[in-house]
């Protein structure tokens, strides 16, 4: 431990702590601009200058390591003058007229820092050099005129996301934030994760969807888990007057610290599917608006007449809904076919392996954050589960090795020279070969090379996704487990939708192949149904659909119940690595619309069923592939 | 004690800061009790007293040779010069033209604007003041007090006037400090 004095306060900190961190830990405020707690200290803006006794000049506290006996002052006249001077120089460089900017008056760190220093005006006026605004990106606007060259965006793009799209060209006052080799952002390698927008201290990077829609103080915050895939990032949904304004990553989350992908941040705000606002019942061949009572009666009558029942649920729905669905249709109504829209292809084989072992065998995502070797098996983390991909990509510059083994074209493979092609459906042979190469150093030379890399690794990870899970037979999985045991490999199974794993825990993982069933209940929620399922349902005479949006499936249905979409409901989600997390209601649903859970309870009542409401014990009834972590 | 004399004038602004002054509503009577309101765009006197005023207030930035004269005249005739509003303090919205250039701005406004007909032309009369880059007041004459805001809140204006009337220098910070 190190003892130092800041503003007369004696503070004890760990070795390696910066003076800024020490001051903040002691509750002292030192203004910063280029610094961000999730990024490596940079020392670019010089706003955090402090007076260190015995030091010839002021020192930037963000990069200065605390040292034993150091005496620091953050409020001397010299420091205050330097702060004002630094701000004056920054304002003089570009167009920082607040009245032209959407983040002014609350959301701009530059303006806020000037207010802190009681700056009523600029001693130096701007130099009036205009820069082009880049509005080529579908979600992001890049305005170099408002840039203060703090490089938080480009550092986040590299350090947090590993995408290395943003960078700077030219020098000094002519420095320009550019994408790739100065191409329009919309045509660049940008993957629209949006962390640059969230981390920008000024209005240099803004998003089209929320600019001018409401400042931080004018919006309501709804923290909760993202429901777009099984990674389960923590995010903040910002609303104003019952309208979605913006989605931000949660900086404070220990696992993801602020990261989201385009699916979690921007795409949900683009949803313009037509909403269902009233129950519908088919009368004389046509779907007609009906009351809830009429619709529920139609369901009860329909199920009485049409023998044989199939039931299908979306894995985007909360655990509570899925457990209730299972209780009603599987346990109470004893329907012949009860499954999820995912049909278990991302989970079933893995869940069976956990059943057989009687214990979990997968690791959680933390393992992927600190690894020196990643073997990606039939999984493209650039296309899906992107944030898990960020964990991998950002470590590559530190020497983490990446091996991509796939049967298809895989964009993650662009990041490595070590690729292996494997034949789909032949996973067991591939893994048996790899295990052989590890144990006996025999086999194909590329397998022997990979085996050597695996053996040399201290913390190897193997990640696999739905294609692997769907194709892998028992031999493949057993070989994978042997490999993991032999080399102490962390196995990370990326699932599919936000509640893939919950559906597997509840046994909702059979293939959806109706076999003469005369009625079906589809718990669709806000999922966009696949063509295959839409087509299969056409064979069934009586179909009930619970959905938020109008689609071909609701158009063909006999009874439609209108329900909430993701932002209008609370619920629990079980991530790919067993984290049980809450999603929070952010919007009030339109009048007359129920949550999927409320609608299911009404249906249960209409069918005189008393369902089991204890979702947690249903979820825990089966050995999971990865241990649960409750937050 | 005699009441301090206050004069104001406007240059390249929108008159909004003077409107905000009027927004102090019935407190305008208190202002009249506290200060001797002399030449302002909203009173009959049009030029600050030749023998001087205590406080001179300027709204708007300096965009041509005429407003330069207005600013210099006010500076010459007042003890304390207040720059009122974002245009006077920073240049404000009119300063956007500095990023474009004077000729391009004139061309856009007088010739290319959608509402102009084919005979539109840029007025070039020697009697017109010569346009310059839009400047903050402090770029042309020294300013004693900056009150930013677009416009500054009526409460802030009242606070500043009341302080000046009492012979104090208003301290513009915290919730009194807004840049737009």
pLDDT digit string, tens, across residues A307-330: 799 999 999 999 999 999 999 999
Cα separation, A529 vs A315, in Å, equals: 11
Cα separation, A81 vs A75, in Å, equals: 10
Residue in A95, A121, A145 closest to B146 by CB = A121
Q: Do B98 and A104 touch (CB under 8 A)?
A: no
Percentage of residues in chain B having pLDDT higher than 70: 99
Confidence band for A630, pLDDT divided at 50, 70 and 90 = confident
Q: Are B57 and B8 in contact (CB under 8 A)?
A: yes
Q: Do A125 and B143 touch (CB under 8 A)?
A: no
A interface test, pick of B101, B133, B178, B179 with most A CB neighbours within 10 Å: B179
Q: Between A301 and A630, where is the model more confident? A: A301
Query: Which residues does chain A have within 8 Å of residue B172's beta carbon, measured at their own beta carbons?
Result: 118, 120
Residues in B whose CB is inside 8 Å of some CB of A read: 83, 86, 89-93, 95-96, 98-100, 133, 135-136, 138-139, 143, 145-148, 150, 172-173, 177-180
Which parts of A408-444 fold into alpha helices (H)?
427-440
As to burial, measured by CB atoms within 10 angstroms (0-12 exposed, 13-18 middle, 19+ buried), residue B27 is: middle
B interface test, pick of A101, A121, A124 with most B CB neighbours within 10 Å: A121
Q: Are A421 and A414 in contact (CB under 8 A)?
A: no
Report the C-alpha dihedral over residues A595, A525, A555, A504, rounded to 10 degrees.
-130
Model confidence pLDDT, tens digit, residues B143-155: 999 999 999 999 9
Cα separation, B86 vs B74, in Å, equals: 18
Indicate the range of A143-152, A194-203, A417-426, A466-475 predicted with least confidence: A417-426
User: Reading across the β-sheet that carries B53-59, which strands appear in turn?
Assistant: B36-37, B5-10, B53-59, B78-84, B145-147
Quick one: closest CA in B to A101, which residue? Answer: B180
Cα separation, B171 vs A618, in Å, equals: 65
Quick one: closest CA in A to B143, which residue? Answer: A121
- Over residues B42-46, the mean pLDDT reads 88
Quick one: closest CA in B to A94, which residue? Answer: B99
Q: Are A48 and A24 in contact (CB under 8 A)?
A: no
Q: Do A100 and B139 touch (CB under 8 A)?
A: no
Q: Do A104 and B179 touch (CB under 8 A)?
A: yes
CA of A124 vs chain B CAs: smallest distance (Å) = 9
Among candidate residues A232, A462, A506, the one with its CA nearest the CA of residue A348: A506
Report phi then psi at A116, rounded to 5: -55, -35
Query: Which residues does chain B have within 8 Å of residue A145's beta carbon, measured at their own beta carbons?
Result: 99
Q: Do B180 and A99 touch (CB under 8 A)?
A: yes
Model confidence pLDDT, tens digit, residues A345-372: 999 999 999 999 999 999 999 999 999 9
**Whole-number pLDDT of residue B179:** 87
CA of B118 vs chain A CAs: smallest distance (Å) = 30
- Looking at chain A from residue 43 to 102, which residues have their Cβ under 8 Å from any Cβ of chain B? 95, 97-100
- Over residues A541-565, the mean pLDDT reads 97
CA of A97 vs chain B CAs: smallest distance (Å) = 7
Query: Which residues does chain B have within 8 Å of residue A115's beta carbon, measured at their own beta carbons?
Result: 173, 177
Encoded tokens for B37: 């309101």
Residue in A104, A122, A128 closest to B180 by CB = A104
Within 8 A by CB and 6+ apart from A588, the residues are A242, A568
Model confidence pLDDT, tens digit, residues B3-32: 999 999 999 999 999 999 999 999 989 988
**Whole-number pLDDT of residue A425:** 87
Mean pLDDT of chain A: 96
Quick one: closest CA in B to A118, which residue? Answer: B173
Q: Do B136 and A125 touch (CB under 8 A)?
A: yes
Give yes or no on whether A280-345+506-630 and A348-493 have one common fold: no
Confidence band for A105, pLDDT divided at 50, 70 and 90 = confident
Query: Which residues does chain A have within 8 Å of residue B90's beta carbon, measured at their own beta carbons?
Result: 97, 121-122, 125
Ranges of each domain in chain A: 2-75, 130-270, 280-345+506-630, 348-493
Query: Which residues does chain A have within 8 Å of residue B86's beta carbon, measured at their own beta carbons?
Result: 97-99
CA of A283 vs chain B CAs: smallest distance (Å) = 56
Report phi then psi at B78, rounded to 5: -125, 155
CA of A393 vs chain B CAs: smallest distance (Å) = 40
Residue A35: Cβ within 10 Å count: 26
Confidence band for A166, pLDDT divided at 50, 70 and 90 = very high
Percentage of residues in chain A having pLDDT higher than 70: 100
Query: Which residues does chain A have within 8 Å of residue B95's beta carbon, measured at their own beta carbons?
Result: 97
Model confidence pLDDT, tens digit, residues B66-81: 999 999 999 999 999 9
Report the C-alpha dihedral over residues A326, A329, A334, A339, rounded to 10 degrees.
-60
Q: Evaluate if residue A554 carries a pLDDT over 70.
A: yes
Q: Domain A2-75 adopts which CATH fold?
A: Ubiquitin-like (UB roll) (3.10.20)
Quick one: closest CA in B to A125, which residue? Answer: B90
Query: Which residues does chain A have within 8 Å of residue B143's beta carbon, measured at their own beta carbons?
Result: 121
Model confidence pLDDT, tens digit, residues A437-451: 999 999 999 999 999
Query: Which residues does chain B have within 8 Å of residue A126's beta carbon, measured at their own beta carbons?
Result: 98
Q: Evaluate if residue B118 carries a pLDDT over 90.
A: no
Model confidence pLDDT, tens digit, residues A222-247: 999 999 999 999 999 999 999 999 99
Q: Do B96 and A100 touch (CB under 8 A)?
A: yes
Indicate the range of A97-106, A182-191, A501-510, A546-555 predicted with least confidence: A97-106
Model confidence pLDDT, tens digit, residues A485-520: 999 999 999 999 999 999 999 999 999 999 899 999
Q: Are A229 and A498 in contact (CB under 8 A)?
A: yes
Cα separation, A468 vs A378, in Å, equals: 6
CA of A99 vs chain B CAs: smallest distance (Å) = 5
Among candidate residues A196, A217, A204, the one with its CA nearest the CA of residue A260: A196
- Over residues A156-167, the mean pLDDT reads 97
CA angle A292, A293, A295 (to 5 degrees): 65
- Looking at chain A from residue 120 to 179, which residues have their Cβ under 8 Å from any Cβ of chain B? 120-122, 125-126, 128-130, 145
Quick one: closest CA in B to A92, which residue? Answer: B90
Q: Do B172 and A99 touch (CB under 8 A)?
A: no
Q: Do A121 and B98 touch (CB under 8 A)?
A: no
- Over residues A549-559, the mean pLDDT reads 97
Model confidence pLDDT, tens digit, residues A45-97: 999 999 999 999 999 999 999 999 999 999 999 999 999 999 999 999 999 99
Model confidence pLDDT, tens digit, residues A22-44: 999 999 999 999 999 999 999 99
| DSSP assigned state of A417 | S
Within 8 A by CB and 6+ apart from B153, the residues are B20, B176, B178
Cis-peptide, bond into residue B151, ω within 30° of zero: yes
In total, the C-beta contacts within 8 angstroms joining chain A to chain B are: 62
Say how far residue A326 (Cα) sits from the centre of its chain.
27
* ipTM value: 0.94
CA of B142 vs chain A CAs: smallest distance (Å) = 11
SS (H, E, C) A298-348: HHHHHHHHCCCEEEEECCCCCHHHHHHHHHHHHHHCCCCEEEECCCCCCCH
Q: Domain B5-95+131-173 adopts which CATH fold?
A: Rossmann fold (3.40.50)
Query: Which residues does chain A have within 8 Å of residue B91's beta carbon, measured at their own beta carbons?
Result: 97, 125
User: Distances in Å between the alpha carbon of A612 and those of A303, A321, A325, A409, A501?
Assistant: 21, 11, 10, 45, 20
CA of A597 vs chain B CAs: smallest distance (Å) = 47
**Whole-number pLDDT of residue A238:** 97
Residue B80 DSSP SS3: strand
Return the CATH class of domain A280-345+506-630.
alpha beta
Superfamily for domain range A348-493:
Dimethylsulfoxide Reductase, domain 2 (3.40.228.10)
Confidence band for B1, pLDDT divided at 50, 70 and 90 = low
Taking the CA atoms of A5, A9, A12 and A14 in sequence, report the sign of the dihedral they define.
negative
Among candidate residues A37, A65, A63, A27, the one with its CA nearest the CA of residue A48: A63
CA of A108 vs chain B CAs: smallest distance (Å) = 12
Encoded tokens for A487: 């080399």
Q: Are A479 and A435 in contact (CB under 8 A)?
A: yes
B interface test, pick of A108, A125, A145 with most B CB neighbours within 10 Å: A125
Transcribe B141-166 into DSSP letters. S--SEEE--SSPPHHHHHHHHHHHHT
Return the CATH class of domain A130-270.
alpha beta
Question: A355: part of which helix (H) or strand (E)?
Answer: helix A348-357
Quick one: closest CA in B to A117, which residue? Answer: B173
CA of A190 vs chain B CAs: smallest distance (Å) = 29
Quick one: closest CA in B to A145, which residue? Answer: B99
In Å, the largest CA–CA distance within chain B is 63
**Whole-number pLDDT of residue A182:** 96
Exposure letters A51-74 (e unless 16+ CB within 10 A, then b): bbeeeeebbbbbbbebeeebebeb
């Amino acid at each position: 431990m190190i003892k130092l004095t800041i503003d007369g306060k004696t503070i004890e900190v760990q070795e390696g702590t910066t003076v800024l961190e020490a001051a903040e830990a002691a509750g002292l405020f030192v203004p910063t601009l280029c610094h961000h707690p999730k990024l490596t200290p940079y020392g670019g803006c010089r706003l955090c200058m402090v007076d260190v006794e015995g030091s010839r000049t002021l020192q930037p506290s963000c990069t200065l390591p605390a040292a034993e006996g150091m005496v620091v002052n953050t409020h001397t006249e010299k420091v205050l003058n330097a702060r004002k001077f630094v701000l004056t120089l920054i304002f003089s460089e570009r167009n920082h007229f607040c009245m032209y900017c959407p983040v002014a008056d609350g959301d701009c760190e530059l303006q806020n820092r000037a207010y802190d220093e009681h700056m009523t005006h600029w001693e130096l006026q701007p130099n009036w050099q205009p820069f082009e605004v880049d509005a080529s990106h579908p979600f992001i606007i890049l305005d170099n005129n408002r840039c203060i060259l703090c490089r938080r965006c480009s550092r986040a793009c590299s350090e947090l996301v590993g995408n290395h799209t943003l960078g700077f060209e030219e020098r000094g006052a002519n420095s320009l934030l550019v994408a790739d080799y100065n191409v329009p952002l919309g045509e660049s390698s940008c993957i629209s994760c949006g962390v640059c927008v969230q981390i920008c201290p000024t209005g240099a990077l803004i998003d089209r969807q929320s600019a001018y829609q409401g400042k931080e103080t004018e919006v309501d915050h709804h923290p909760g888990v993202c429901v777009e895939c099984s990674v389960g990032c923590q995010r903040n949904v910002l609303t104003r007057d019952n309208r979605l304004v913006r989605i931000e990553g949660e900086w404070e989350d220990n696992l993801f610290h602020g990261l989201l992908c385009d699916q979690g941040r921007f795409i949900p705000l683009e949803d313009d599917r037509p909403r269902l606002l009233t129950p519908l019942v088919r009368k004389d061949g046509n779907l007609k608006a009906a009351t809830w009572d009429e619709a529920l009666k139609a369901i009860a009558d329909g199920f009485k007449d049409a023998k044989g029942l199939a039931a299908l649920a979306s894995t985007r729905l909360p655990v509570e809904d899925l457990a209730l669905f299972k209780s009603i249709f599987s346990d109470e109504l004893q329907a012949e076919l009860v499954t999820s829209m995912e049909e278990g292809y991302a989970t079933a084989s893995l869940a069976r392996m956990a059943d057989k072992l009687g214990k979990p065998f997968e690791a959680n995502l933390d393992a992927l954050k600190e690894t020196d070797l990643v073997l990606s098996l039939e999984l493209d983390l650039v296309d899906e589960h992107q944030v898990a991909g960020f964990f991998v990509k950002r470590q590559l510059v530190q020497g983490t090795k990446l091996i991509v083994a796939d049967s298809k074209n895989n964009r993650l493979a662009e990041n490595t020279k070590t690729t292996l092609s494997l034949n789909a459906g032949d996973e067991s042979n591939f893994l048996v070969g790899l295990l052989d190469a590890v144990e006996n150093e025999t086999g194909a030379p590329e397998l022997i090379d990979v085996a050597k890399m695996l053996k040399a690794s201290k913390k190897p990870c193997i990640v696999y996704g739905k294609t692997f899970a769907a194709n892998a037979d028992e031999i493949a999985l057993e070989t994978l487990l042997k490999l993991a045991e032999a080399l102490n490999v962390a196995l990370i199974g990326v699932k599919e939708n936000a509640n893939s794993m919950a559906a597997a825990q509840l046994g909702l993982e059979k293939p959806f192949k109706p076999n003469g069933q005369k009625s079906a209940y589809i718990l669709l929620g806000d999922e966009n149904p696949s063509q295959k399922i839409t087509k299969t349902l056409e064979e069934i005479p009586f179909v009930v659909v619970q959905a938020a949006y109008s689609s071909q499936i609701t158009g063909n249905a006999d009874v439609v119940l209108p329900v909430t979409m993701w932002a209008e409901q609370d619920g629990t989600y079980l991530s790919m690595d067993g984290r049980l997390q809450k999603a929070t209601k952010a919007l009030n649903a339109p009048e007359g619309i129920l949550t999927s859970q409320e609608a299911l309870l009404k249906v249960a009542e209409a069918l005189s069923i008393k369902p089991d409401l204890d979702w947690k014990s249903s979820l825990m009834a089966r050995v999971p592939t990865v241990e649960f972590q409750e937050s | 004690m005699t009441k301090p004399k206050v004069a104001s004038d406007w240059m390249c602004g929108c008159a909004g800061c003077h409107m905000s002054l009027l927004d102090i509503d019935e407190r305008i009577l208190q202002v009249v009790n506290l200060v001797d309101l002399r030449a302002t765009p909203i009173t009959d006197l049009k030029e600050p007293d030749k023998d001087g005023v205590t406080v001179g207030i300027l709204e708007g930035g300096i965009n041509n040779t005429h407003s330069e004269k207005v600013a210099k005249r006010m500076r010459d005739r007042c003890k304390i010069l207040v720059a009122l509003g974002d245009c006077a303090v920073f240049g404000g919205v009119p300063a956007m033209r500095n990023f474009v250039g004077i000729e391009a701005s004139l061309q856009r406004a007088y010739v290319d604007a959608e509402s102009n007909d084919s005979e539109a032309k840029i007025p070039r009369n020697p009697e017109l003041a010569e346009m310059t880059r839009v400047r903050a007041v402090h770029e042309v004459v020294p300013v004693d007090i900056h009150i930013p805001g677009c416009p500054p809140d009526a409460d802030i204006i009242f606070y500043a006037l009341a302080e000046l009337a009492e012979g104090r220098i208003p301290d513009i910070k915290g919730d009194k400090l807004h840049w737009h």
